[in-house]
Amino acid sequence: MSLARFGVSLDEDILKALDEFVIENKLPNRSQAIRHLVERNLVEKKWQCNQVVAGAVVLLYDHHKGDVTIKSNDIQHENFDVILSSQHFHLSHDYCLEIIAVKGIANKLTQLSDKLIGIKGIIHGKLVMSRAE
Ligand code: NI
């Protein structure tokens, strides 16, 4: 990939925040920090669109509460075409961690993730995505 250079003017406080971001994320320089932030922003925009992305839905729940396991299973079967695999960890007597790998149209994955995370009894849920093409 060829590199293009350009000048950036920033307010001092934003520059200070950028330098803190460089340190916090152990990045080599400001250029890498800007690249990272731009890419992250572009990925998040893609969530709303029709492009193919890949990622994972992470769910944490207490399997004794409600019927989370049954509901999650039903939703996953309804969306088998975008689910690559799922892993279930029995964290303790009560808690389960489920990681569902997904690939498909961003819109559809966001809807799927909202449905899963919205199941009554889910303690924590998050969708992470990245460009897949
Ligand atoms: Ni379990």
Q: What is the DSSP string of 9-21?
A: ---HHHHHHHHHH
Q: Is residue 58 helix, strand or coil?
A: strand
Q: Which domain holds residue 84?
A: 52-131
Each residue's pLDDT, cut to its tens digit, for the chain (133 residues) gives 688 888 888 889 899 999 999 998 888 999 988 988 887 777 666 566 788 999 999 999 999 888 999 999 999 999 999 999 999 999 999 999 999 999 999 889 999 999 999 998 899 999 998 887 7
Contact of 54 with 62, CB cutoff 8 Å: no
Q: Is residue 77 located within the same domain as residue 119?
A: yes
CA of 59 to the centre of ligand 1 (A): 11
Q: What's the pTM?
A: 0.68
Q: How many domains does the chain have?
A: 2
Q: Is residue 106 located within the same domain as residue 71?
A: yes
CATH of the domain at 79: 3.30.70.1150
Please indicate, yes or no, if residue 57 is contained in any of the structural domains: yes
Q: Is residue 74 located within the same domain as residue 58?
A: yes
Q: Is residue 69 located within the same domain as residue 112?
A: yes
**Residue 95 belongs to what H/E stretch?**
strand 95-105
CA of 110 to the centre of ligand 1 (A): 24
